[in-house]
Structure 1
Amino acid sequence: MTNRFSLFFAKQRQAITRFIFWTAGFIALWAVLAGLVLPQVVRHVTQSRLSEMLGSACTLEKVQFNPFTLRLTASHLRIPLPDGGDCFSLEQLQVRLSPSGIYRLAPVLSDLKFTKPNLEAVLQTDGTLSLASLAPASKPEPTRKTTPSEAPATDNVEPGDRFFGLVISDLEIVGGRLHFQDNIRQTEHTISSLEFFTPFTSTLQRHREQAITPYLQAVVNGRPLRIEGRLKPFAEQLHTEFDIRLDRLELARFQPYLKPFADITLENGVLSTDLVFNMRQHAETGIRLGLTGKLMASDLALLAPDGAPALRLPGLSIALDGALNTDEGLTLKKVTAQHPELQVTRLADGRIDWATWWKKPPEPEEQDDTPLPLHVELFEVKNGRVLWRDRKIRGGFQTLAEELAITVANLRLPGSEPARLQAALRLGDASLSLDGALLPKPLQGSLRMELADLALAQFQPYAAASGIPVTLQQGKLTCSGLLETDADAFIFKQGTVGLQGLALQRNDTRKTFFRMEDLILEGLTVSAAAHRIEARQLTLRAPSLQLRRDRKGIIDLQQLRPATHRDAPARTPEGPERPWQLLLAELKLEEGQVAVGLEGPKETATAELRNLSARITGYDSAAATPLNVSLAGRDRQGGTLVIDGTALLKPLELKLRMRTSSLDLRPMSPLLGALNPDLRLGAGTLTADLRTDLKSAAGKNRSRTTGQVRLESVSLLEGKRQFAALRRLQLPGLDIQPAQQRYSIGKVSLTRPHINLVVDSNGANNLARLFGGHPPAGQAPATKPKKPSAAKPPYLRIAGIEIADATLRMHDNRYKPALTNQLEKLNVTVGAMDSSPDSRSPLTFAGKLDGAPVKGEGSMNLLRAADAMELQTSLRTLNLTPLSPLSERFIAYPLQQGTFTLDSRIAIDQGKLDSTHKIHLDSLELGKKVDSPDAPDLPVKLGVSLLQDPAGNINLTLPVRGDLHDPSFSVGGLIFKVIANLLMKAVTSPFALLGGILGAGDEGLEYLPFSPGEGRLLAKDAQAVPTIAEMLLARPKIGLVLTPHADEEDRKMLADAYVMRRMQELKHADLPKSEQQRLEPLDLAVGPETDADEYADLLFEVYAEQAFDKPKNFLGLVKKLPPQEMMERIREHYPNDDKALEQLALERGRQVQKAFIETRPELQGRVTVAPPRVPGEGHHVSFGVQ
């Protein structure tokens, strides 16, 4: 064998030598070209081509190639941006071409290693990526239609023939880095320490079912990320799977990406993942994208735009499994939120703050893609807290819900099967729970709700926001029921609502005004769609209401109405709103109490009803069905109140019966303060049985009340003094019809009424003071002119009035000592009466005034007493001695003895009073005069003596007339005026008064007249002398005083009277003696109308007698002048001074005195002449007494 080889080598030595040299030369050449030339060419071409393609000055510092190991090494590749900025750099790239590719018939790359690749990417503010500047825009190539013959033939291509044959082993990236700068959102992200390794990758047919197992690990923003893969990208059925593990990635770095969607701030939070993403191709269904594993977030913190905490979530874990692109959908096996803390605020405009933070996304384009099915097997919220704030409420409000727990099981979206929902939370001592099933879309479900022990006091700000000025002091709310929803329909049914220990306080007084032990609402159903609220029974147990009525008559409950703000915008309804229907089968009130504090000007009392019970059935706000109503209660003293009947609210129609028994009226006393602050009710009870029918039609109410009322043991006080009382007042047969203005009462009965009338020292009496009284004396009450009314006057009918055993006691403090009178045992009977003008009622009464019988009878219209009355009254033998204080004041004399009897006739017709009062005073005797500033300075005793007849009695008839419609008219004032005039006339004209009393007339009994200037008493003027003389003889205690008068008219006629007297005397002297004895000078007629010549002669004789100088004739005798001239000369010289008038008056007095004595000589010494009055009140002699 060796020889053969040696032989062959010897023969082929030259050829072998050439082969060796050629081979060595080829190797040397290959080493030179591939090891030295090729790297430079590759470096230059690569650098130039990259720069040309990317439009950037790319650099490749070094390229090495080992021609024997076929390893290519490129170092320090840099691809900058066109502006010179950093973009990509690679420290080293190594790759080796494996010789195994020869037998594999495909290139085999091994040891492909990228060392420290670094990519810098910048998102510009205009939205472009910096990498985009490396790819210059290319001109679009013109399209050319391909013919069928030019189309690539794919029908006969095997699936494996679509990939270029390539084998890569040990693909590795070491020390990689990716830096992303976002200039739009002013943030950056870094992926560093990037390590990637793939042991084997092949597109060859025999390797395509072999899994590729790459792995990647890196640091993302400082947190580790590891991805392990199992890929079959070239297999007939595509299968890719990645294990993704991310450890505590800080989410706050991604806050800028949240801003376009919401104004909230992601302050903190880390994300960890343990996911398996797979992509598998199925022949029937295509590619399925699957995701399995866990998402875990912790320490999540969201801040509101103002920096306040909005959400804190210490822990969130999501276990999921499923597909992302098939109908199988994604299954959330378990979602757990641990200790979430959520803060929700209602803003001042009523919006929820979370709703305002989310920005409205752009309108999405219409898509036909169906949503990804989502199945939540279990969703849990554990030990959560929700802080609710309300800034719309004045002063703000907040409450904290704790121990929030929510469990949702088997939720499918979309789906037709409802999910199981359980939720619970606590509000302080209160608890709320929900349990049931719910289908989110369309919203359907049924939930059992339980709310227990919710303290209402914490919700006081909402009560204040309602405008009602009350404070929720205490109270606990409980509620349970079934919540059902179907699409837009919401129903709450089988509900029970309870309210325990409610207490409300008024804000103004800080006092509790309402308490209630329990409120129970059962069988509650609320339907939002039907606008219907229905309940089986509402029970109010032990409610207590405290009210107050102030001095102005305002109930404080009216002040609790919500306040209205003028500046509040009016709400305009968008359309006709469907009214809510409220149905309540039964309302019950048990053990209730109502107390009303009544404030009067000087006293305060509390009216109280206890043990209140009520029942109302059949309420329906939409149906016109009547309610059955019943109410009962008691006052403090045991009086009862019962109301029952039916009530229809729309239209209003009431049929009620009210019964009271001995209901105490004493607490109502302050109401009388409206009449007078001093008026009080000391006692009284009310017993009534009334029926009321009320109907409302056309905006008007028509009512009718019938029944009977009885008041018992009533006592009215003025301050602490009783001024009125009655044992019983009965009003039977009541029939009140306000709309028709018809009022009827049966026979009214008053038993033992008692009135104390007290007159103060200033003349005001308690009745006038308490009930209005009259204006001060001399002042007419101010009246407003009444406009005539065309309305029909009201009709009133009373079947009769009976007063039994009445008493009127009057105590008059104007006198010292006080004057006290009493009208007692008064019985009054009045027949039937009505308000018609022609109605007359028979009237009888009888009683005793200070022991003296008084009675009367007649007829009158008691309702129109000022229009019609006829009455006869009598008072017998009233002892006047107790009235002595009255006489001492007004006449300055006490009454020591005497009785008074009165018979009166009173008639009134159309307001005109015509009455006559016959007075008989028996054995009247006055005491000694006392000092009284109110008594006139008159000789009262003289007047009494004048009025008394020989038996010592006085009989007077006093007419009283007047117009009752005159505001200044007063019966008492008119009587006093008549009596005052009577006394004055008794002194000034006593005989005129006596003439009137005795029926002789009063003409000529005041004085005796004289002719002007005349001192002689003519027979025609002395006719009253006998009459007066007889009066004097009948009254021996008085004497006659004559007061002569002379006035100015006398002064003018002195001379004429003197001339007339002298002419009569001269004529009488010329008569025969027989005639002189028969005639008196006064009887002779002298005058020019009788005998002018005689008159002239007699006048001349008188003229000649005068002592003054007179013209004479030629014989020296007095010259006779014409009568008129002679009379004028006498007048000029006759004395007419006051002395002449006094002489004239004295002459007149002596003439009258003489006449009385000549008539009745017994009067000698009882007729005296007083000093003359010059100038006097006339030309007469007046009569006086002494």
Structure 2
Amino acid sequence: MSIKKKIALIGAISIVVLLLFSATLLPWIVRNQAVKGIGDATGRIAHIEKVSFNPFTLTITADGLGIEGGKGAPFIKIGSLRLSIGGASLYKRALIIDEVTVNSPALSFARLEANSYSFSDIVERLKNQPKKESKSDFRYSINNISIHNGSIDFDDRAIDGAKKHTVKNLEIAVPFISNIPYLVETYIEPRLSASINGSPFNFGGKLKPLSKSMESAVRLDLKGLDLPGYAAYSPVKLPVDLASGSLTVDAKINYRISADKKPELIINGELRLERVEINQKGGKALAKIPLLQINASRLEFFARQFAFNSILLEGVQIFAERDKKGVWNYARLLPAKPKAVPAAKPAKSNEKSAAISVASLVIGNGALHFSDALPAGGFGTTLSDIDVSVKNFSTAPDKSADYQLSMLMDNQATFSADGSFSTAPLTATASLELSELRLQKGWPYLAQFLTAPLKGTLDLSADLSYNRENGLKAANGSLALHGLSAVYGSREGFDLALLEIKGVSYDQTNNCSSIDEVLMSKGSLSLSKESDGSISLLSLIRKNITEIPAVASPAKPKTKPLAWNLKRFQLERFNATITDKSRAGNPRFTLNNSQLALTNLSGPDFRPAGLKFSSTFNKQTALKAAGMLTPLPFRYQGDISVGRLRIRDFEEYFPDALNVHVVGGTIDTALNVDIALKNGKPTGSFKGSCGVRSFHSVDAVAEEDLLKWESLQFDRVQGTLEPFSLGIHEVALNGAYSRIVVRKDGTLNLQNLMESQGQGIKVKDQVAAGQQPPVVKQESQVKARSAAAAPKTPITIGAVTVQDGTIFFTDRHLSQTFNSTFYNLGGRVSGLSSEETKLAEVDLRGNLENHSPLQITGQINPLRDELFIDLKLSFKDIDLSPVTPYSGTFLGYTIEKGKLFLDLKYKIDKKQLSSENNVFIDQFTFGTKVESAQATSLPVRLAVALLKDRKGEIHLDLPVTGRTDDPEFSIWGMIGQVVKNLISKAVTSPFALLSAMIGGGQDFSFIRFTSGSGSLTAAEEQKLLALAKALADRPGLKIEIKGYVEREKDAEGYRRELLNQKLRNEKFLLLAKERQLKEGESAEALGILPEETSKLLKAVYKKEKFPKPRNAIGLVKELPDDEMRKLIIASTVVGEAELQRRARERATAVMNFLVEKGALPSERLFQKNDDIHKAPEKEGTARSRVEFNAIAQ
């Protein structure tokens, strides 16, 4: 055998032996050495079920590898390990592994306590082994590294409740790792995937980890990582509990570092946080984040440039709360502040600001839950549906971002804003809108300032802009408060349906503001002046408010005051109720349907502003004003009018000593004024007219009418306030009624209209006790000297006219009460003036008992310092029978008949009175004797008989003189003087005594009248003609005529008769106007046809003076005929005076008929007074009648 063959054979045998060794002994050796090496290194029991080696492919496979943990539990298990060694290892002189494959590796370990794990003993064992020096020239290339179906089980027993973590389906792929030079610049692309606690995780990228210029490009893909399980591994103790949350990351990370360039770290990709719930320690919620998604296009951390494609925060909920100590829940999460140390000056930095850009920022369906326990009662609210959108945000210069914001407050109020802003330079615009914000929600914060909550809803909108050059500007601002209300005091409060402010603008640079309109609509206010003088409205402001300590602030530079302008203020349909509890009776006043308009208000330099006001006071009085108002200093130029202001509404403000009750009366005023405040005093002028309508006052002592009138009008009034002056063109008094009463003690009711100060007993009580009330001295007597020294006030009154006046006189100090009425008082006083040289002309007229005429003429001046009077008085045809109470009391006899005629002259000049009294008495006849302790003992019947001439007439001339400043001077003394003169002169005029006769013959004792009528019927006229014929045949008889009435029937009939008479008068006037009257035709003879009634009734209704129904604009309403008739009849006053008059009219009608139709001399006919209600003595006699009594002449 040749050597070559031997060598070949030996080689073949060696290869076979080597292969057999590699296939049989080598795996066994490797297995035993590996188990022993692992055991020695870890101190744990290791095992390998099987090791195989393929010498042809240089592949080693190990199955069933494992390392036990404590107590026999598995620590590491590997299903199989495959490793293939590359043949290039020999000629490359480097370890080259073509493939490393690990199947089903499993790692199980536990954390026993902080920094202590179940494998900590292995770590300590490895640390204690001697270190071997590594050769730096070792080269290697490990390729195709892969791990399949790996798993990790981690049991964390160091935390409360323990926690287990798992990693399943672990897949790792690394193409190669090498430091062989020709492979350095070749990137590897590692990949990693697993399920971490059920959350998928993927990682992949490119690395050059062993290059001198380190580079990496990594893709991180993590899906749904459950975050609470990792909170315990935070390096610092978290102040919150992470209840839930998951993290998903899909990002690319590029990192480069080299010696000659700045490092670079660039990240792009997406991060998602889902279902995050963060709670306070103890369980209270802090925040909930259903979704936070950040998409970064390029984040260059070292270059400080951050670009985001989008940031989305969906459904976030923030829970903010403050405790009773004022500490916020988020503030408690912060670490305690260190003790203050002197602040070091900040070092100058050349580092440029970060450049940030966000293409889209969206917050959707967010919520803020706010709770505050600091205010009394606590406060809580929820801001929901918070939506924020920001587009194209950038910190780069001159880059503007657009934004939109909206939210819902407590499921009612809404807020929205949109606009734009930039950070370099800082600018911003905003269009804001707030709707339906409930004011009551803020009550816990207002409770320290107010005593009751404000209710209502607020709407607000505005356009705002800001930049450093022009500052803040606002435009198109508006505010609306709906249903604003509050309660205070005792069941009082205010409410306002709408407060609206429109067109608000503001300019910070010029410090000016403008408002187009302020509107207050449909409101009401009730307030009181309390007994202590306070106003109930002010009780809404809490007293003793805790003062907030002032915080020192740097002095601000002086700026000009805010210039403002309000183009229009409008108050409409506003009602107010004012109660004065400081007065007895708690008077209440109301203002209804108030309207106020102000135009062009401005400040701080106030200019005249237009004003227009109207209201209804106490549901009747019309208040109006229109003009120009300057608030400061105050001045008003314009019109003021008051219509139908009831005097009685202010009765509680009358002097307490006033013994007069005002039960009716209204004031009308229309003035044009120019008034101002100067040094706190009013100045200015006024002109216009005013009047008092339907005035009615009652004597509070006797509780009977005192003074009343239909109208007192002052026309063309003008004057000044400082100094005071007054001019009145005309004063007109219509329908006046005055009641003069002589009380039982002989005093006049006019003497005690005011109680004296300090008087202990009321006047009314003194009258009831029969005492004489004290007479109050006139104030002019007390202040005579000071008044004389004061400058004279200029007063002029062009004319005073009186129409349809009535004076009712009652004397109760007689044994029989005396009543008399003066009717039709009217006339004129012209030229009243306070100037000493000017005298007023007087012309007054009237009728006593609607029969006896009175006329007063002459001159007076009551306004100058000393009264001047020069008057003539003519009083004719006065029937003396009604004054029987006086004759019976003082003379001892009644007066059966007689008439009085007076011609008087009175002159008072410089307090000196001189008078002439010419008296003519016709056919004066005494009646029966009257027992009276006050009666004179003089022979008055003889005196009268002597004073009469043959015609039965008495003529007297009685001059009277005296001084008005004489304390003994009185009108009653003058009357007594007249009586004495009468008796003294009686003996110079002989009179024959008349004897009474009793009539007989035919029965004409009464004449029947229709109920209410004063006219004779045809039948009764025939009866009177027969009576006249009988009297003509008996010239020695005279007839006494007495009228009677039936109280109920005559009162109603009288009203209807008066209406019929007015209708006939209207027809008479109409026929006269149309020239259709027949010659000699009178109103009484006219008949009213049915078709004429409506027209005539309207004419009568129009002339009536009683208050009539009016429409909305104040005009008299048109009424149906029946309604007008009812109102006229109902407003016709028929009392005792009217019935007395009707009784006299019946007697007068009979007397006139006998004179005119019966041809009897009037001297034979006399009316006689009797009880007009007396029942007839004969049965079958009508109660509405005139009775006759015959006497001899």
Cross-structure match for 2:643: 664
CA change 1:291–1:826 in 2 (3 A) is same
Residue 306 (structure 1) shift: 8.5
Structure 2: distance between partners of 1:349 and 1:883: 92
Structure 2: distance between partners of 1:122 and 1:929: 142
Residue 704 (structure 1) shift: 1.8
Cross-structure match for 1:436: 419
Question: Which amino acid is the alignment partner of residue 165 of structure 2?
Answer: T
Structure 1: distance between partners of 2:988 and 2:729: 57
Residue 534 (structure 1) shift: 1.6
Residue 670 (structure 1) shift: 2.6
The 5 A counterparts of 1:312-331 are 312-327=288-303, 329-331=305-307
Structure 2: distance between partners of 1:252 and 1:767: 101
The reply on whether 1:235 has 2:229 as its aligned counterpart is no
Cross-structure match for 1:803: 800
The reply on whether 1:422 has 2:407 as its aligned counterpart is no
Residue 412 (structure 1) shift: 2.5
Structure 2: distance between partners of 1:99 and 1:473: 87
Structure 2: distance between partners of 1:17 and 1:259: 65
Cross-structure match for 1:146: none
Kept in 1, the 8 Å contact 2:731–2:797? The answer is: no
The reply on whether 1:379 has 2:385 as its aligned counterpart is no
The 5 A counterparts of 1:846-885 are 847-848=844-845, 850=848, 851=852, 853=854, 855=856, 862=863, 868-869=866-867, 881-884=881-884
Q: Which moved more, 1:954-963 or 1:232-241?
A: 954-963
Instruction: Determine which of 129, 143, 165 is the counterpart of 1:190.
Output: 165
Cross-structure match for 2:737: 756
Kept in 2, the 8 Å contact 1:598–1:670? The answer is: no
Cross-structure match for 1:819: 819
Kept in 2, the 8 Å contact 1:469–1:560? The answer is: no
Kept in 2, the 8 Å contact 1:264–1:357? The answer is: no
Structure 2: distance between partners of 1:882 and 1:305: 109
The reply on whether 1:295 has 2:295 as its aligned counterpart is no
Deviations 1:368-418 (A, max 9, x none): 676654321111234555667787888777777665432212223476522
Cross-structure match for 2:726: 745
The 5 A counterparts of 1:540-555 are 540=519, 543-544=521-522, 546=524
Instruction: Determine which of 938, 946, 951 is the counterpart of 2:947.
Output: 951
Kept in 2, the 8 Å contact 1:875–1:903? The answer is: yes
Question: Which amino acid is the alignment partner of residue 715 of structure 1?
Answer: S
Residue 975 (structure 1) shift: 6.5
Residue 323 (structure 1) shift: 3.0
Residue 803 (structure 1) shift: 1.9
Kept in 2, the 8 Å contact 1:423–1:434? The answer is: yes
Cross-structure match for 1:734: 719
The reply on whether 1:406 has 2:381 as its aligned counterpart is no
The reply on whether 1:688 has 2:671 as its aligned counterpart is yes
Deviations 1:1147-1183 (A, max 9, x none): xxxxxxxxxxxxxxxxxxxxxxxxxxxxxxxxxxxxx
SS at match of 2:541: coil
SS at match of 1:796: coil
Structure 2: distance between partners of 1:423 and 1:789: 82
SS at match of 1:670: helix
Kept in 1, the 8 Å contact 2:141–2:176? The answer is: yes
Kept in 1, the 8 Å contact 2:285–2:319? The answer is: no
Instruction: Determine which of 551, 565, 569 is the counterpart of 2:542.
Output: 565
Residue 343 (structure 1) shift: 5.8
Cross-structure match for 1:1137: none
CA change 1:23–1:210 in 2 (3 A) is closer
Cross-structure match for 2:250: 274
Deviations 1:641-684 (A, max 9, x none): 553335253xx242x322257x5234676345643996355555
Instruction: Determine which of 697, 709, 729 is the counterpart of 1:724.
Output: 709
TM value normalised by structure 1: 0.60
Question: Which amino acid is the alignment partner of residue 729 of structure 1?
Answer: F
CA change 1:604–1:26 in 2 (3 A) is closer
Cross-structure match for 2:833: 832
SS at match of 1:565: coil
Question: Which amino acid is the alignment partner of residue 319 of structure 1?
Answer: N
SS at match of 2:466: strand
Question: Which amino acid is the alignment partner of residue 658 of structure 1?
Answer: G
CA change 1:707–1:885 in 2 (3 A) is same
CA change 1:258–1:879 in 2 (3 A) is farther
The 5 A counterparts of 1:746-785 are 746-747=727-728, 749-758=730-739, 775-776=763-764, 777=766, 778=772
Structure 2: distance between partners of 1:535 and 1:811: 69
The reply on whether 1:629 has 2:645 as its aligned counterpart is no
Cross-structure match for 1:704: 683
Structure 1: distance between partners of 2:302 and 2:436: 51
Q: Which moved more, 1:67-76 or 1:704-713?
A: 67-76
The 5 A counterparts of 1:1075-1090 are none
The 5 A counterparts of 1:1016-1165 are none
CA change 1:810–1:253 in 2 (3 A) is farther
SS at match of 1:690: strand
Question: Which amino acid is the alignment partner of residue 825 of structure 1?
Answer: G
Deviations 1:1033-1088 (A, max 9, x none): 99999xxxxxxxxxxxxxxxxxxxxxxxxxxxxxxxxxxxxxxxxxxxxxxxxxxx
CA change 1:311–1:570 in 2 (3 A) is same
Say what the alpha-carbon RMSD is for the aligned residues: 6.7
Structure 1: distance between partners of 2:323 and 2:739: 68
TM value normalised by structure 2: 0.59
Instruction: Determine which of 481, 502, 519 is the counterpart of 1:521.
Output: 502
Residue 438 (structure 1) shift: 1.5
Kept in 2, the 8 Å contact 1:679–1:770? The answer is: no
Question: Which amino acid is the alignment partner of residue 822 of structure 2?
Answer: Q
Question: Which amino acid is the alignment partner of residue 296 of structure 1?
Answer: R
Residue 745 (structure 1) shift: 0.4
Deviations 1:107-155 (A, max 9, x none): 568859796545555775xx9999999999xxxxxxxxxxxxxxxxxxx
SS at match of 2:540: coil
Kept in 2, the 8 Å contact 1:854–1:873? The answer is: no
Kept in 1, the 8 Å contact 2:440–2:454? The answer is: no
Structure 1: distance between partners of 2:372 and 2:833: 72
Deviations 1:50-96 (A, max 9, x none): xxxxxxxx66668999999999999887999xxxx999965689898
Residue 348 (structure 1) shift: 8.8
Structure 2: distance between partners of 1:829 and 1:98: 146
Deviations 1:938-973 (A, max 9, x none): 444658679989638999999999999xxxx999xx
Question: Which amino acid is the alignment partner of residue 203 of structure 2?
Answer: I
The 5 A counterparts of 1:343-358 are 356=331
Residue 603 (structure 1) shift: 10
Paired residues, number:
907
Residue 620 (structure 1) shift: 2.7
Cross-structure match for 1:245: 221
Residue 689 (structure 1) shift: 1.9
Question: Which amino acid is the alignment partner of residue 822 of structure 1?
Answer: F
Cross-structure match for 1:587: 567
Structure 2: distance between partners of 1:538 and 1:861: 55
Kept in 2, the 8 Å contact 1:666–1:681? The answer is: no
CA change 1:257–1:811 in 2 (3 A) is farther
Kept in 1, the 8 Å contact 2:439–2:456? The answer is: no
Structure 2: distance between partners of 1:591 and 1:25: 115
CA change 1:938–1:634 in 2 (3 A) is closer
CA change 1:260–1:133 in 2 (3 A) is same
Residue 750 (structure 1) shift: 1.1
Structure 2: distance between partners of 1:963 and 1:306: 101
Instruction: Determine which of 303, 308, 314 is the counterpart of 1:332.
Output: 308
Residue 736 (structure 1) shift: 0.5
Q: Which moved more, 1:777-786 or 1:723-732?
A: 777-786
Structure 2: distance between partners of 1:563 and 1:752: 49
Gaps of 5+ in 2: 54-58, 125-133, 699-703, 757-761, 767-771, 949-953, 994-1193
CA change 1:861–1:903 in 2 (3 A) is closer
CA change 1:995–1:401 in 2 (3 A) is closer
Structure 2: distance between partners of 1:951 and 1:503: 88
